[in-house]
Each structure stands twice: as C-alpha cells, then as structure tokens.
Amino acid sequence: MFARIYRPSRTAMQSGKAKSDEWVLEFEEAYAKRFDPLMGWTSSQDTRAGQVLLHFETKDQAVAYAKQHQIPHQVIEPNQGPRTLKAYADNFSSSRRRPWTH
C-alpha cells in the first residue's frame, strides 16, 4: 500500500482557487483493473485506490497521518506558474500592440 500526497489542481471549469488549498492523500492501486465485457465497466478488487481520498488542511498533517499509520508515501509539490495580473481596461488601452476589434 503506497500513498501519494499532493495538492489538487483546479478544474478547467474553475477560474478561482476553490478547493485547491487543501492537501489530498490518495492510495495507489494494489491490484490491476479488469474489464467487464458484458457491461463495459472497468473494475478492481482494491477499494482504497480511487475511492478513498483523505483531505488535510496542510501538508504536514498529511505526512504526520501517513507516518502515524506507517503508510509509505510520496509528497508531490505543486507546480505553480507565474501569475500575471490583467485588468479589463487593458483591452481598450491605446498602447495595445494590435487594435481592438470584434
């Protein structure tokens, strides 16, 4: 049983930072997935992988939980790109490289 500790990225439908401040402990799969030819579903015998997600406020809490329960873990640090601040008024400024059109 191996676990990954990471901060989830925001979904494509989010413009804000909702639910991206918490850390998640997720277990990796212990068994291979199987394909059910009748229904077309993919199933597994492992109930921890993909179904059990533990949420923590800080990375230290997640690591402490994994150490307390003797769970081997890997911490994946978030990759944050540079933040560019933009204003709506910049769309109409006279110093634009290209003129504003529809």
Query: Higher-confidence residue: 64 or 97?
Result: 64
pLDDT at 35: 84
- 3-92 domain in CATH 3.30.160? yes
Give the tens place of pLDDT for each residue, 6-16.
998 877 776 77
**Which of 61, 48, 64, 68 is closest to 2 using CA atoms?**
48
pLDDT: is 15 or 23 the higher one? 23
- Would you place residue 38 in the very low, low, confident or very high pLDDT band (cuts 50, 70, 90)? confident
Model confidence at 94, in pLDDT bands (50, 70, 90)?
confident
Residue-range domain boundaries for the chain:
3-92
Average pLDDT over residues 22-28: 90
